[in-house]
Structure 1
Amino acid sequence: MTAYAIGHLHDVDLGADIVDYLKRIDETLAPFGGRFIIHGGPATVVEGSWSGDLIVIAFPDMGNARAWYDSPAYRRILRLRTDNSRGDVFFIDGVSADHKATDVLAGLPMIDQPLG
């Protein structure tokens, strides 16, 4: 199952360290099958509010996502980003191509329905 590394970054200082990070990150992704799906850019907000930059990297599975993040190659450049931005980063599994919204209800206790 495809897994995603998602980052919501704020206050990015686009200086020499971030430029170096950007130049080096692709080579850290390749051995783990990682590829950018979303990499910043303007968002068209249709509900609520949004600020910052969204980054989404797809991996073949959660094992590859975690192995990439923990790899020596990525650890060598990680501080280039963390010292020059703030934000949240997390991993999440994707869903199958035939996923339906109601699939999330499987295994949940039934919600009481009014009788009549």
Structure 2
Amino acid sequence: MPKAYWINAVRSVRDADRVAAYVELAGPAILEGGGRFLSRGMPARVFEAGVDQRTVIIEFPSADQAVATYESPAYQRALEALGDGAERDLRIVEAVE
């Protein structure tokens, strides 16, 4: 089973306090689910139709484990804390074997 990558791009922040509450809960939930943070922050450069927005890349042992983490009660609590505090684009993609 190939590894998978959880890629989260933050399009806009509406409420920094809600984002901070999300981060406090989401980090431990992701680590507990087997995730490993590979990159967080603004892009060094963007090209073509790229958007200059904060991006987080997290590696998981499999797509199933990434999805299970997203659906876990701990991560769902983080999402509840975030509410409408940010607009995000989140996707899970499998690695090429």
How does the TM-score come out when normalised to structure 2? 0.83
- Higher strand fraction (1 or 2): 2
Relative distance call for 1:10 and 1:92 in structure 2 (3 A) is same
Greater Rg by CA = 1
User: How big is the shift at 1:31?
Assistant: 2.4
Cα root mean square deviation, aligned: 1.8
The structure whose RCO (Cα within 8 Å, separation 6+) is larger is 2
Percent of residue pairs identical: 30
Find the counterpart in structure 1 of residue 44 from structure 2.
43
Aligned pairs, how many? 96
In structure 2, runs of 5+ residues without a counterpart are none
Distance, in Å, in 2 between the alignment partners of 1:14 and 1:40 is 18
SS of the residue corresponding to residue 11 of structure 1 reads strand
Distance, in Å, in 2 between the alignment partners of 1:64 and 1:81 is 22
User: How big is the shift at 1:57?
Assistant: 1.1
In structure 1, runs of 5+ residues without a counterpart are 97-116
- Residue deviations 1:1-60 (CA, integer Å, cap 9, x gap): 110111121111352211111122221012221011121224312444423221111101
